[in-house]
Amino acid sequence: MKNIITGLLLIILSGCASNPPNGPVYDPWENVNRKVFDFNTKLDKTIIRPVARGYRAVLPDPVENGIGNFFSNIDDVTVFVNDALQGKGELAGNAATRFAINSVFGIFGIFDVSTRIGLPKHSETFGQTLGVWGVGEGPFVVWPLFGPNNMRTTAGLFIESQTTYLPPYFTDDSGVLFGLTALQIISLRAQFLSASSVLDTALDPYLLARDTWITRHRKATLDSNERLVLGSNNPSDDDELDELDELDELDEADELDELDELDKLDEADELDELDELDELDKQEADELDKLGEDKPAT
């Protein structure tokens, strides 16, 4: 009940800030998020990543794949629930059938029989479901161990803790639950070891991780494969651009006016020069007339 109440409060908070698909990332807690991100990065480099590398090196591929399939099979429960909540009947049936077949014929999901017979794996989270229902993303947040999230997906974590992350009905033994949870984290981390090199070489790993996560979450929520470019859809930005365009037009008009003034001055100068030439011509004519008058008759 405590988890449910907390989750509802987070849902209410997350509804306070909605983001369009191409809108900017709402990250008001960036300073704190960066510190948590650094903590997670150090924990990953010193403990989780080395253990995941050892895990991959020691375990044969069939065993490693079997462990991954086991946890993926449990995740199909969450996928089924969220497909149903989003009104995706066919996909919900797909997830339910996968879970049933893999649990029985795949020995608790260790073998992914469903994929081999044409029922591919897909993913849905409660955070995506809330997005489909119109709940806003809320602020971006980085949690210790759980990593990048927003307030909407954070609310979903409380629900998914009862289905995906080794639900309490799986076993009552806290030691077993702790061990299996640790194994799940290591198994998941081992699948994404190649992503480490990308973050390690990034100019700003935090921004890369944040924007990548936001983009993937928005595309998954919208069921879209189109390219999303995170930017600003703020109308005020358009207004500012319009104002700048108007100023540019005024500047251009002013420049044209100045050119017109210069043209007028040039024309006036040319007229003055012509007038001066006319005056010189008149003076020369007068001088010639005087010379004619002064010349004695023969």
Q: What is the pLDDT of residue 296?
A: 53
Give the integer Cα–Cα distance in Å for 293 and 280.
Answer: 20
Alpha carbon 75 to chain centroid distance?
Answer: 25
Decide: 144 and 39 in contact? Cβ < 8 Å.
Answer: yes
For tokens 């198994």, the residue is: 187
Give the integer Cα–Cα distance in Å for 175 and 173.
Answer: 5
* Long-range Cβ contacts of 46-49 (<8 Å, 24+ apart): 48/185, 48/186, 48/189, 49/189, 49/193, 49/196
Q: In tens digits, what is the pLDDT along the chain, a chain of 298 residues? A: 566 556 555 655 555 555 677 888 899 999 999 999 999 999 999 999 999 999 999 999 999 999 999 999 988 988 999 999 999 999 999 999 999 999 999 999 999 999 999 999 999 999 999 999 988 888 999 999 889 999 999 988 877 766 555 544 556 667 777 888 888 889 989 988 877 778 888 899 999 999 999 999 999 999 888 777 787 444 444 444 444 445 444 444 455 455 455 455 555 555 555 555 556 556 655 655 565 555 555 4
Give the integer Cα–Cα distance in Å for 47 and 34.
Answer: 20
pTM value surpassing 0.85: no
